[in-house]
Every structure is written in structure tokens, then in C-alpha cells.
With several copies, the nearest count.
Chain A
């Protein structure tokens, strides 16, 4: 599927590549051949990178095992949620399968006082921020629209309207700058989201105010059924330069590279160098959500090719080859996984339905006469049944 296929009837030549002063020319960089930052090959071999090695130079075997553990537990949690949806315990689930490295690597790069603005699939980032994973399930079960306090872990609620949160992130970062604080913000969004006007406006505002924000785009190749070619004809990380800040593409299935690049970007933010765009080149291995049927729009070969780049297997190969983890570690982690699954299952099943009056709660902070009136009518109406039943 080429980018021109929809519009052009006659053959059209592709964009030229010559470049002269005063003119920037589109770079032909097919998205299948990304120039990406990689520290671990798909086979788990550590490769040198002059620029980013320093950001993971001091990493200990313990920390490496920690990243592995994060990814494994996140995947386990995710699988549990998918099966809870199948069992009817959740209305919907948006799986992060395949994106563990992008999320754990970037999530672990954040500092406690940083602030995270997720979209709706950042279960791994939530994990890194210490949000209890069962809290993530409330909105998918339909008991609330966001079940945690954003300020407890500096992890904002999931945002479903694509792209909106990038502006909130930018504003929050403007506030950090105003306060003279040295923390930073990271905003997550997808390849599809890159087309939204709000995301472009967040680039503009963050550049103009030099806001300490990292835009972390997980390019998982798909926006529901649409491949990234329907959103852009050049790699997404290049978008940033036209707004005056750097963009970098990182191997999104390489947790070390994601950690290093995000640390670099967050440090830029902290030290007053303004925004950065990180494109984590990864793959949505599963369906868009449990409502989706990817067989309608993509073949198995693609997924299989990406399974060979699995972020968890990759780190495991490295851990094993470098003797950083033994059988005992993996066995213990397996037990921990099972326990997490069980805890999540039980927590979801025990999750109470909200009180009916919750409809009227929190519509306003300072109250509203109409809400009071409607609540009272609702109460009277509810009471009329009790009366009847009681009679």
C-alpha cells in the first residue's frame, strides 16, 4: 500500500532530494529502514553507541534484572486483563503486547518528580510509576473513567481523545519552567495521534516556551487498521526538526536503548534545553483492543517477523549470555507473575459497581443548582421503587 494509492490516478514522481540553501528537501526514509538507536540487537547482543552508552553506563545487573522483571510482570498483567475481558469481567482491553520495552525503558527513565501524561495503553509506564495495576482496570470494566489520583504518582489519567494530552503535558511543563523546578514531563502518544492538530500545537507551544517536555511517540505501526503510511510519508521522529527541536528514533523493542534515549531527552528538558521528540519504533503485536479483529487488515507474517524482535526475549538473551540472571531468578519471577495474575483477577472480580448517585458526583467542584435538582429528582424516583417494593 503506497502513500499515493488513494489519491493519484496517474503516476506521480516522488519528491526530489536535491538540497540547496534556503530550501529543505524531503528526506526519503522509508519507514521500513529506520535509522534507529539500538543498544541491544534482537539477538540480545550489546552494541556500542557513542552517544547514548553513557546514559546506561552505570547500570547494575540488579537494575537490568529489574527491567526484565518489569517487562515480564507488565506482560503478565496485560495477558490477565485480556483474559478477564474474554470472561466478561472487563468491557474492553487495550493490550500493550509488544510495547513493553518502549514503556518500561522510558518509564524507568523518569524521576519521581517528573510528570507523565499517558494515552490509554501505557500500562507499563503506569507500573513504573507505582500505580497499582488493578486501578487501571476500572475504566475498562466500566466502573469509572479513571481510577487513580493523578497526583499520587504524577501519572495523569488515561486520555482517550487522541492527542489531547500532549497539550496538557506542554502546559504542565510550562508550569514547571515558571516554578523554576528542574523536573520534566513526558507525554505519550501513538503514530496515529501524530496527525492530530493538537499534537502539532503542542510542538509549537513547547518550542516557543522552551518547555521541559519529552514527546514519546510509540510508533507501533498501526492506528487500529491503518498503517503508519496513512499518517506520514517520512519517519515520524523527523517531525520535530521543523518545530525547532530534536527528534530521535529509538528501537522501541530494546529496553536499554529506550531507557538511554529517554534519559537523555529528560536531561535535556531538566537542563533548560526544551522539548524533544522520541519515536520508539515498535509493534503492536495484538489487536488494537479486544474489540478489534486485525485479521481483517494485516497478515500474520508481519507479526511473526516482529515476534523475532520480542523485547522480553531480547533482554533475557542478554541477561543469560552475560550471566546476570540465573535459573532461580527466572523461576522466582514466574511465581511472582502468577501471583500478580491472581491478585489482579481477584481484585477485578471484587470490584464493586459504583453507587448510582455517582452519576451526580464530581460534575462540579463547587456544585451546580441543576445537578442538585436532578439528583433530588433521581432520589425521589429511586425511592418510589423502594416504596412500591416495600408496599
Chain B
């Protein structure tokens, strides 16, 4: 069955399917019940599955993740929502010291199949703490998997896969793409959770991105095509692990790489990608791996976010610089 669906709706449908097929799946978070979440991602789920499966929690993120761990120990598979990126930090201790480490600590005896959903990123004109991209802070931590879909179909399937995974998955939802519509085939699983996908083939340079920046990179590639430049666009989909094999394969072909993310460049995913790809492709690269991302500054007030965020021109500028080597 293939329907055109907004990304938020695709996650909603995916959660619904999980609730339907596995009685152990739970939804937890602030306002996920009657309200259906501030972005309506859990719309209608409490009505259909009841307050025992779709749980409005007290306003305490550490408590949400900490009790989800306890529920997982009891055999449940909680999908918890953090209302906005900037509010995950009260739960950071539970995520880093407990959720990430319990499997190793127990020598594999304890599995914590928990999904932490985080709507993230900017571009929606929001107030402070509502537009951040903290994925690097989770990718550095062993024991967590970190993914971010860029489109409704991936949103649907990656959520299915995240819930089925026996590992904790931090699921970053590109909130400014929540309303973007595309076809979702709910019958056919498109591929493994942590594999990158070439969304546009090209030969002159590789643009690598994930989540909200994939669409931008496609626009950049369109714009560059008008200038006769043939860019390859990779949707990484996963930030931990990162599918370095796919990036390497692309870079061995194009010999140039620009990584784009909303998060600050300093200590961001672009750093890890640049370091490792340079090591893997040292003799292939014609230019250093360039990075386009946020500045080393707090996410600015809404009226400055267009300047702060990577945009078409800034990415094109990096492409030009890379091609100039």
C-alpha cells in the first residue's frame, strides 16, 4: 500500500503499527496522550490503544527515560518522546550512564530496546531550546545508536526498525520536515537501518547529509546542475554507526566531499566523517573534506536562524571552494 503521507504522519502510522503488532510496545512522554504531542506525531494513539499503552508522563525527562529503562527490564519496548531537542539534557545522565551501558554492564544479559524520539533542528521560527541539533552528543557515546530520517518513507520504516532493534536508538526527527509529503510504501521494507542511500548520482563531488539537510543538498545539487556541476547526494540516515563504506565508495568516485548538518561544525559529525574519510581515501581526495554547519554559538533567536543555518548559498559556496582545489 503506497500513500502520500507527511513525515509526521508516517511516524504516527509506524507507531500505530508497532502498537498493533506488539503488545509490549508503549508510547511515553509529555503530552503524547490526548493532545497527541505538540507536533501531533502520536495523534489518536491514546484514543485507540488506551492510557496504559500511550502514557502521559510527569514533566521530568530523567524520570521518563529512567522509568522506560525499568519497563524495558520488565519486558516492555518503550518508545519515549522528548518534546524538543533542547529538553533532552535532563535525561542525559540516564541515557549516557544507564541506557547506553546496561547491555555491556550486564555482559549481554539485559537488553534495553528503547527508542528515544527527539524532534530536532531549526528552521521553524521557534524560541530558545526548540531548534537544536545535539546528535553528536549521543553519537560519541558507545551503546547508543543514532539515526535520523529525511523523508516519510524512511521515517516510517526506520521507526519500525528502531522499535524492533534490541539496542537503544536515539531517533532524531527533522521537525521542519514533519509536514513534507511523499509516498510511503508500507509493504516493502527499503533496506537496513544503518545504511546510507545515494539519493542522486553524480561525479564531481559528494554531498553527505542526514535528516533535514538532505532536502537542502538535493536543492543544492539542482542549482549546481544548472551551472553544469554534477553532484552526488548521499543520505546518511544513520549517525551511529555511520556508513563509511558508502561514503568511501562515493568519494573514491567523486574525489571531493562536503558534509552538511545543522549542528555546530566544531566537534560535529562532519569532523568524524572528514577524519575517517580522509584516512580511508587519502590518495583519492582532490580537496579537503569541507563542512557546512552551525557556528560555535548558541542557536540564535528565530530572526537570525536563516543566517545561522546552512542554506543553499552557503553550501554552494563550500562546493565551489572544494571544486577550486
Is the Cβ of B52 less than 8 Å from the Cβ of A7?
Answer: yes
Among A9, A168, A362, A368, point to the contact of B145 (Cβ < 8 A): A368
Chain A residues whose CB sits within 8 angstroms of the CB of B297 once the complex forms: 359-360, 363, 371, 374
Is the Cβ of B62 less than 8 Å from the Cβ of A174?
Answer: no
Chain A residues whose CB sits within 8 angstroms of the CB of B68 once the complex forms: 171
Is the Cβ of A195 less than 8 Å from the Cβ of B60?
Answer: yes
Is the Cβ of A208 less than 8 Å from the Cβ of B58?
Answer: yes
The smallest beta-carbon distance between B179 and chain A, in angstroms, is: 14
* Contact indicator per residue, chain A 178-221, by CB within 8 Å of chain B (1) or not (0): 11000000000000110111100110110010000000000000
CB-CB nearest in chain A for B295: A374
Is the Cβ of A150 less than 8 Å from the Cβ of B110?
Answer: yes
The smallest beta-carbon distance between A8 and chain B, in angstroms, is: 9
Is A5 close to B, CB under 8 A?
yes
Among A159, A168, A354, point to the contact of B304 (Cβ < 8 A): A354
Select the residue from A157, A201, A224, A360 with max chain B CB neighbours within 10 A: A201
Is the Cβ of B93 less than 8 Å from the Cβ of A144?
Answer: no
* Given A142-B303, A149-B106, A176-B74, A91 contacting B59 (CB threshold 8 A): no
* Given A7-B52, A174-B67, A353-B303, A363 contacting B98 (CB threshold 8 A): no
Is B223 close to A, CB under 8 A?
no
The smallest beta-carbon distance between B181 and chain A, in angstroms, is: 21
Chain A residues whose CB sits within 8 angstroms of the CB of B298 once the complex forms: 145, 363
The smallest beta-carbon distance between B310 and chain A, in angstroms, is: 12
* Given A171-B68, A366-B166, A5 contacting B51 (CB threshold 8 A): yes
Is the Cβ of B303 less than 8 Å from the Cβ of A141?
Answer: yes
Which B66-119 residues sit within 8 Å CB-CB of chain A? Answer: 66-76, 86-87, 89-90, 93-94, 97-98, 101-111, 113
Is B137 close to A, CB under 8 A?
no
Is the Cβ of A143 less than 8 Å from the Cβ of B303?
Answer: yes
* Contact indicator per residue, chain B 162-194, by CB within 8 Å of chain A (1) or not (0): 000111000000000000000000000000001
Is B142 close to A, CB under 8 A?
yes
Is A337 close to B, CB under 8 A?
no
Which A137-154 residues sit within 8 Å CB-CB of chain B? Answer: 138-147, 149-151
Is B241 close to A, CB under 8 A?
yes
Report how far A170 CA is from B72 CA in the complex, Å.
Answer: 12
Is the Cβ of B73 less than 8 Å from the Cβ of A171?
Answer: yes
CB-CB nearest in chain A for B84: A160
* Given A157-B105, A225-B33, A371-B297, A198 contacting B66 (CB threshold 8 A): yes
Is B307 close to A, CB under 8 A?
yes
Is the Cβ of A197 less than 8 Å from the Cβ of B60?
Answer: yes
Is B222 close to A, CB under 8 A?
no
Number of B positions contacting A (CB below 8 A): 82
Is the Cβ of A139 less than 8 Å from the Cβ of B301?
Answer: yes
* Contact indicator per residue, chain B 222-258, by CB within 8 Å of chain A (1) or not (0): 0000000000000000001111110000000000000
Report how far A171 CA is from B241 CA in the complex, Å.
Answer: 29
Is the Cβ of A197 less than 8 Å from the Cβ of B90?
Answer: yes
Is B63 close to A, CB under 8 A?
yes
Report how far A150 CA is from B51 CA in the complex, Å.
Answer: 29
Is the Cβ of B74 less than 8 Å from the Cβ of A146?
Answer: no
Report how far A390 CA is from B94 CA in the complex, Å.
Answer: 47
The smallest beta-carbon distance between B100 and chain A, in angstroms, is: 9
Of B9-17, B122-130, B149-157, B213-221, the one touching chain A: B122-130
Report how far A224 CA is from B111 CA in the complex, Å.
Answer: 32
* Given A150-B110, A175-B76, A366-B165, A170 contacting B34 (CB threshold 8 A): no
* Contact indicator per residue, chain B 269-303, by CB within 8 Å of chain A (1) or not (0): 00000000000000000000000000111101111
Select the residue from A176, A230, A384 with max chain B CB neighbours within 10 A: A230
The smallest beta-carbon distance between A199 and chain B, in angstroms, is: 9
CB-CB nearest in chain A for B272: A370
Report how far A333 CA is from B69 CA in the complex, Å.
Answer: 41
Is the Cβ of B30 less than 8 Å from the Cβ of A167?
Answer: no
Report how far A195 CA is from B100 CA in the complex, Å.
Answer: 24
Is A350 close to B, CB under 8 A?
no
The smallest beta-carbon distance between B29 and chain A, in angstroms, is: 10
Is the Cβ of B31 less than 8 Å from the Cβ of A164?
Answer: no
* Contact indicator per residue, chain B 14-53, by CB within 8 Å of chain A (1) or not (0): 0000000000000000110111101000000000000110
Report how far A249 CA is from B165 CA in the complex, Å.
Answer: 44
* Given A179-B74, A202-B66, A168 contacting B98 (CB threshold 8 A): yes
Among A1, A145, A223, A381, point to the contact of B30 (Cβ < 8 A): A223
* Given A198-B90, A224-B30, A364-B167, A144 contacting B109 (CB threshold 8 A): no
Report how far A140 CA is from B128 CA in the complex, Å.
Answer: 9
Is B56 close to A, CB under 8 A?
yes
Is the Cβ of A167 less than 8 Å from the Cβ of B67?
Answer: yes
CB-CB nearest in chain A for B297: A363
Among B70, B103, B165, B240, point to the contact of A362 (Cβ < 8 A): B103
* Given A91-B302, A359-B304, A168 contacting B66 (CB threshold 8 A): yes
Report how far A167 CA is from B34 CA in the complex, Å.
Answer: 25
Chain A residues whose CB sits within 8 angstroms of the CB of B58 once the complex forms: 192, 195, 201, 204-205, 208, 230-231
30 contacts between A and B (CB under 8 A): A6-B55, A7-B52, A139-B127, A140-B127, A141-B303, A150-B110, A151-B109, A160-B128, A160-B129, A161-B86, A161-B87, A161-B98, A162-B59, A164-B66, A166-B66, A168-B73, A171-B68, A172-B70, A173-B70, A174-B71, A192-B59, A195-B59, A197-B60, A198-B62, A204-B60, A358-B304, A364-B103, A368-B240, A369-B243, A369-B244
Q: Which residues of B contact A (CB under 8 A)?
A: 30-31, 33-36, 38, 51-52, 55-60, 62-63, 65-76, 86-87, 89-90, 93-94, 97-98, 101-111, 113, 125-129, 142-143, 145, 165-167, 194, 240-245, 266, 295-298, 300-304, 307-308, 313-314, 317
Closest 3 CB pairs of A and B: A171-B70, A167-B66, A142-B302
